[in-house]
Structure 1
């Protein structure tokens, strides 16, 4: 590891055990010239009513709460339409980035990326389950500009999400700024900056309610335990056509739109529980000629079960049946991205 690793466990600011490590939550301390060790000592023996599993600075990672125990980091809800209740203290690992006047140093960023990657690998946590404190309970954390909390510029956070899956670490941590018609990017790769980004946007309805839009694998659409009845899918490059199969019924017609107010072509579904979905992505010819053809990569989870295997467009063979899902089993989670 590039950083020094120290264990300095708190004796009071934690709860024994957890419900499984399913999420990683990124925070920042918001302090001035603070360090990982100073923070760990602050939480060491005095009852603070809060804690995190790890504190990270430019040289050091200090573990304050054991992974198999629960830290007190995301327990209060400050808003709505967030992950509160899904991602909890008892099913997540919290990482605090030390800051200087709220700003995260480049070395601290890199150490946080490496720590996050190691925890993802250790516990099989997907990048879609690496979230900000802001995503969980609408607290403005990480609050420095570039991390996207409270609607601020999210260029650093977007780069962080790339770095935890790409195997590389960005070296520029200046949030993008727009001046007139020109803009700069925090990306360290000129190739990725010039290549058009394909983003699937999607949302689902369950229990009579449309849930917030999800982009690619930033999260999943749906709520555990609630059967999905309608699905809307859009894409920033190219087009999609998709259809759903209703439980106890048949396949409904294909749709191509992305508009929850358009019951004809804006989404797939008729208010009945869905047990299968089929998606086909049409790559723009200009993009395909330069970068190759893409497919829709998608998967579902049925109520009470984990995700089924990834499906690619409407392909059959290799154990795949041309759609995601299982007839007779209501789905409650859905994910889609380009492949």
Structure 2
């Protein structure tokens, strides 16, 4: 198939997982637009303003280390082909493929909603995770600054936060992050999947280069911000050979915590990933999917609690052993550090001009 340049997904078919209606041909010019008007124009990123009524999401998953999260945006222009958040666009009757990375939603009232939530009587603070569904520092953050506004709310409220990102744009908020770090309120994880910029452009076409992410790790570490290097995800026979190099480079920069996460292919991500393999790596597509199935009990994906983040089998054991050896050689923490953020300083934020009692 013809490659869609500059994007991760290679198609934009609308999901039918929720029995959402598909538009049938209506016989007008739109159905024959390419034949009449010529080639379809280059795909452009569109941003729609969303005004949700709540912003903080809670979960009881036994597999992840946080119970609450916040997302400033829906969709992600980074276009990472493996992104497990892609299926969330199907709820909007949009494609988890090209729509996910080109039809984005921004939530400008997120900071106000967050402040209102934190100010509710009886609210009990625990670290808020940012970047759990889509990247809080994707390109449109430079325009909307919603992530920064929410960090300002959390700093004022002395509320702890963890950030996960693939972008060096996080450094734009280094002033806030540094102040939060001095109060033990912040930890940042930067994901590095490869040290090869050409490969990175195929896997994560609009994310910053590996060099920029590595530099961001160094800058954050030097600024005293607790920093974690996440090798996520590890794609068998595509990016797994970079594991040792990433660990070694992170250790050289003073990063004291690293971890890895295996590739996950939930729902529509599996066929999109297969399509991507056919486009970019047709010579090894069968090998990649064979290894993926071997670590997922013979399936493309394991969605079950307790096992979805714990691959099994010979290949999984090999990846774990390689990672442990790499960490031991580099002198870096084996597995994600338990950053003990401080919840004791929390104070309800001021809302609608209401002054604090204390």
Query: TM over 0.5, yes or no?
Result: no
- Higher-strand-fraction structure: 1
- Higher-helix-fraction structure: 2
TM-score (norm 2): 0.29
TM-score (norm 1): 0.30
Between the two structures, name the one with larger relative contact order (CA 8 Å, sep ≥ 6). Answer: 2
